[in-house]
A and B are shown apart, each in its own frame.
Chain A
Amino acid sequence: MATTELPLPALPEAHHEEPSGGIVDYLTTVDHKKIGLLYIFTAFAVFLAGGLLALLVRWELATPGLQVMGENTYNQVFTMHGTLMIFLFAAQVTTGLGNYLVPLQIGAADVAFPRANAMSYWLYLFGVLIVVSSFFVAGGPAAVAWTAYAPLSTSEFFQGTGMDLWIIGLAVVGVAGILGAVNLVTTIFRMRMPGMTMFRMPLFTWGVLVNQLLILFAFPPLTVVFALLFLERNFGAEFFDPTAGGSPLLYQHIFWFFGHPEVYIIILPIFGIISEVIPVFSRKPLFGYRAMVFAFFGIAALSFGVWAHHMFATGLVYLPYFSIMSLLIGVPTGIKVFNWIGTMWRGSITLSTAMLMALGFIVVFLIGGITGIFLASPPIDFAVNDTYYVVAHFHYIMVGGLLYGMFAGFYFWFPKFTGRRLSERLGRWHFFTFFIGFNMTFFFQFLVGLDGMPRRIADYDIERWTTANVLSTIGAFLTAVSVLIFLWNFFVSIRRGQPAGDDPWEGNSLEWVTSSPPPSHNFHHLPEVHSERPAFDHRHRDNPAFAAAHTDPERNQDRG
């Protein structure tokens, strides 16, 4: 097989000087890798803050009575927990990973619009700061739940600057998301190296592509609903006021038209991460590459037709349509899970921490997905909607799906980002405390939800709910311990971790053929791309048994 190395794209001379990596460098950088890291660090800081708020919620709910805080503070705390986690952490941490990794995976020197990329990050940061500033104004932050249903969130029922800062900050973050999406989508369509056809892109890049396309369609409605709410609050517009011809239902429709695709915006890059980690640690190619790509598009398309399953209990939506569409999402998701198992089947599996996290992901996501099927059925949804059953369900998707996948990604790519490995020993502690803590926290919430405990209540006086709540609170603190173990691992490993070399895991995609960390222009040399595993082909270039002709999904050979 030819091993000629391709000429690199011409770069401005300035790019060849390695920048200092100091504070001024990070403040002024347009390097996609540094911007990616800025995204990840900012999002992780938001995650830690949101996690502290979650601990406050669990502390208050452990036993009946108001022990820790009053109702108003409780409402602010759970509102800001949801706001930070969903709007300011979940989508941005994967955007950060995408920012860092996508250009590397497609063999590009940077993103298509480096300056717009920097602007998108800084808009995001200032959006976060605007939302967080609401803690320091008179009346404190919003206390209307992260969904901010009108008319509760209108000025008639909720006054205060905190709510307006909430709207403004999130609208700014939304604009940052759209700008970032334009950039990443363009990068993936226009910046792939020669030979890197669409069907040779790594699954993580596919996940990011579909996720960013979803952002392009789902964030504008979010901006719209926030604009309407802002006008209603500050200028007397009456979009949601039934006495003036408006409709409270309108808010729910627009909000969930964004809100449901948002779930897939969060989870698709995670599917991508899992689809990178499992083949590498099974030492096999991804099973059913094309089916995996089509499943991404299937999920994305269906995700825009299911929003009103959040509104079954309104009694004002057409149930059969939204029910069948929601049920059908189980099909492409099932394809993914079976293909991951197919990848491991007859593989050669190493249980590294990244792989453990990926396996944990499959199991908890399975529970989240199965309970999602329950919720797609209106008669069952009528019973458990807005109870702790739903809280448990979406935390199995969000915490279970997002966090396991995110940590799998962190353990997998940390060596690429830093040149050092995270400690596997601490990683195991991290995984097992997290797995036990997480399941303790949320499994019992299914039970107490089935028993009728509503969500978003500061207090309850039904004694038989106490056991589940105490266990859930203990689980939450154990989860916090697992995050501390991760932080400890991070700070130790970044200084004294075992040097990783360029390719510690025998990776498949192009980021593993460059140095760790990569140079500012990403590659000194690029191998030819003949399949979806260019790094694998490059490693086995002298072995005719693994010649790319046999392994290229473009040629679609070697299938049963």
Chain B
Amino acid sequence: MQPRRRAPAARWFALAALVLIAAGCTPQSVTEQGRAAYSLYNLFMYIAAVVFVVVSGLVVWSVIRYRRRDDELPTQTHGNNRLELTWTLIPTVIVLVLFVFTMQAQNKELDQSGKADVNITVTAFQWSWRFTYEGTGAEVLGSPGQVPEMVVPVGQTIRIKLISADVVHSFYVPQTLFKRQAIPGTDNFFDLTFEKTGLFHGQCTQFCGLQHADMVYRVRVVTQGEYQSWLAAATRRGAAGQPGT
């Protein structure tokens, strides 16, 4: 009997371990704004892991310790006001604390009080993207077969104006830990300040019809100098419909 009773306990611990592994699986944010979300996620994960281990531990313990041994009825207790009050108050306090940290992170992440260095209008359409660099004449237009690239300078505040030409889409670069819906008839603004150079995958996350899966783009974060020369070339090309190179 002993090994059979141990089996579920081992399973719960394996699960708990997997939950902890999940903590390490959020990508580090590559934007200043996303850093707040990253540390908030980790805070949630630590508390969640403790709650999961405690609660599932209590379940496993009860099952092992209080399994039926004989026909005698156990004491018929109906409740305990003090205990019940305790496990009402503790979760309340936990969620209130989480709420306070949530608001702090959210205010940092959504702050747009700074001056924008680069203004880009992103137009989502079925099924690709157009990136218009305001005040420069540069534009990048993609199509489902041709992945467009949004080129931006590192360390500068990029203010995105997100619009949709047809149905609801969503702008998402996983490594920014941020997304925003593109809703027809609405201008949505947000800032991204990339902290390191590189090429990042982006994709529409709001189901938008037949070729939703093909609505992919890339963000290329380059140095200020590289950005200026790219911009000059792109401005000369105008709306040539070519991905940034």
A residues lining the B interface (CB < 8 Å): 71-72, 75, 143-145, 149, 151-152, 157-158, 242-243, 247-249, 282-291, 313-316, 319-320, 323-324, 327-328, 330-331, 334-335, 337-339, 341-342, 344-351, 359, 362-363, 366-367, 370-371, 373-374, 377-380, 382-383, 385-387, 439, 443, 446-447, 450-452, 454-462, 546, 550-551, 553, 557-560
Query: Would B190 and A315 count as touching, CB distance under 8 A?
Result: yes
B77 contacts which chain A residues (CB < 8 A)? 284-285, 287, 346, 558-560
Which 10 pairs of residues, A with B, have the shortest CB-CB distance?
Answer: A242-B185, A452-B174, A560-B80, A457-B213, A386-B205, A383-B177, A344-B62, A379-B37, A334-B91, A327-B95
B12 at the interface (CB under 8 A from A): yes
CB of B98 to closest CB in A, whole Å: 6
User: Are A374 and B58 also in contact (CB < 8 A) when A346-B75, A447-B22, A450-B22 are?
Assistant: no
- Smallest CB separation, A259 vs chain B (Å): 15
Given the interface pairs A248-B185, A337-B55, the reply to whether A379 lies near B66 with Cβ below 8 Å is: no
The number of residue pairs between A and B whose CB atoms lie closer than 8 Å in the complex comes to 289
Q: B51 an interface residue at 8 Å Cβ cutoff?
A: yes
Q: Which of A323, A348, A367, A371 contacts B72 (CB 8 A)?
A: A348
> Contact string, B203-230, partner A, CB cutoff 8 A, digits 1/0?
1111111111110100000000000000
Least Cβ distance of B201 to chain A in Å? Answer: 7
How close is A461's CB to chain B, nearest CB, in angstroms?
A: 8
State whether the Cβ of B244 lies closer than 8 Å to any Cβ in chain A. no
Contacts of B74 in A (CB 8 A): 282-284, 346-348
Residue B157 lies at the interface, judged by CB distance under 8 Å to chain A: no
Tell me the complex Cα distance, A371–B19, Å.
Answer: 11
Alpha-carbon distance A273/B55, docked complex (angstroms): 20
Cα–Cα distance between A481 and B106 once the two chains are bound (Å): 44
Question: A157-B166, A291-B79, A345-B62 are known contacts; what are 16 more A-B pairs with Cβ within 8 Å?
Answer: A152-B207, A247-B185, A285-B77, A314-B183, A316-B188, A328-B92, A330-B91, A331-B88, A346-B74, A366-B56, A377-B44, A382-B178, A447-B21, A452-B175, A553-B78, A559-B80
Check A313/B180 contact, CB under 8 A, given A378-B106, A451-B27, A560-B81. Answer: yes
Give the chain B neighbours of A72 by CB distance below 8 A. Answer: 210
In the complex, chain A residues whose CB is within 8 Å of the CB of B126 = 157
Which residues on the A side are within 8 Å of B56 (C-beta)?
362-363, 366
- Tell me the bound Cα distance from A242 to B72 in angstroms: 70
B99 touches A327 (CB 8 A): yes
Give residues 30-82 of B contacting A (CB, 8 Å).
34, 36-37, 40-41, 44, 48, 51-52, 55-56, 58-59, 62-63, 66-70, 72-82
Which among B27, B52, B83, B106 is the interface contact of A450 at CB below 8 angstroms? B27
B119 to chain A, nearest CB (A): 17
Known: A380-B41, A450-B26. A285 touches B190 (CB 8 A): no
The CA of A323 and the CA of B105, in the complex, are separated in Å by 13
Q: Considering the chains assembled together, what is the distance between the CA atoms of A560 and B106 in angstroms?
A: 43
- Counting contact residues on chain B (CB < 8 A from A), the size range is 35 or more
- Known A342-B83, A380-B44; judge A363-B185 contact (CB<8 A): no
Residue among A289, A366, A450, A459 with the most chain B CB within 10 A? A450
Q: Which residues of B contact A338 (CB under 8 A)?
A: 55, 84, 87
For the complex, what is the distance from the CA of A136 to the CA of B79, rounded to whole Å? Answer: 56
Chain B residue contacts of A243, Cβ below 8 A: 185
User: Would A157 and B179 count as touching, CB distance under 8 A?
Assistant: no
B184 within 8 A of A: yes
A72 vs B52: C-alpha distance when bound (angstroms): 40
Is the beta-carbon distance between B87 and A347 smaller than 8 angstroms? Answer: no
Q: In the complex, are the beta carbons of B79 and A380 less than 8 A apart?
A: no
Could you tell me the distance in whole angstroms from the C-beta of A150 to the nearest C-beta in chain B? 8
Q: How far is the CB of B112 from chain A (nearest CB, A)?
A: 11
Q: In the complex, which residues of chain B have a beta carbon less than 8 angstroms from the beta carbon of A344?
A: 59, 62-63, 66
Q: Complex: how many Å from CA A8 to CA B82? A: 42
The interface residues of chain B lying within 8 Å CB-to-CB of A287 are: 77-80
Q: Report whether A342 and B59 are in contact in the complex, using a CB–CB cutoff of 8 Å.
A: no
Which single residue of chain A is at the shortest CB-CB distance from B63?
A: A349
CB atoms of A151 and B186 under 8 A apart: no
Pick from B21, B78, B168: contact of A248, CB under 8 Å:
B168
A152 contact from B25, B51, B59, B209, Cβ within 8 A: B209
State the CA gap A287–B19 with chains docked (Å).
29
A378 to B179, CA, bound (A): 11
Bound Cα distance A290, B81 (Å): 11
Q: In the assembly, what is the distance between CA of A243 and CA of B186, in Å?
A: 11
